[in-house]
Amino acid sequence: MLKEFREFALKGNVIDLAVGVIIGAAFGKITTSLVNDVIMPPVGLLLGKVDFSNLFISLSGEHYNTLADAKTAGAPTLNYGLFINTCLDFAIVAFAVFLLVKEINRLKNRIAQEAPAASPTERNCPLCLTPVPIQARKCKACTADLPPV
């Protein structure tokens, strides 16, 4: 069982997946910074100097000026501004992944069209339909004479 696990863990797919997860985590941090530090400030400015990361509803009934004040007081909060930022993060990551997959599929199609078709190595016997080597003169199953290629 340990041997099987080692073979599974060392297959290329598992290693590729691990690399993808690590790159994805780093890309997620970049996207979060893009949303929080580049996109949301101008959007907030256009909407009347709104800081989305500071939009919340205090569930305790008390009023707090900032989310940090509410957290310091230990008040339960509904952080819908952070939720909006997270949704925007997701949309950007999903769009980037869409573009990446679209480009990979385009390249795969181009490579598949450029690759020469492999010549067949077998043909079927016209009488019994058994696969035989392309250069064979007789069928190995029914011993029928095969026409030349």
- What integer best gives the mean pLDDT of the chain? 84
pLDDT for the residue numbered 12: 63
Side-chain-facing half-sphere of 86: CA atoms under 13 Å: 5
- Predicted confidence (pLDDT) per residue in 103-147, tens digit: 988 988 888 787 776 778 899 999 899 999 989 999 989 888 898
CATH of domain 2-115: 1.10.1200.120
**Average of per-residue pLDDT across 77-87:** 88
Report if pTM > 0.85.
no
DSSP 16-45: HHHHHHHHHHHHHHHHHHIIIIIIHHHHHH
Distance CA 107, CA 125 (A): 38
Domain boundaries, the chain: 2-115, 117-149
**Average of per-residue pLDDT across 74-85:** 89
Burial of 35 (0-12, 13-18, 19+ CB in 10 A): buried
Distance CA 129, CA 144 (A): 11
DSSP 53: G
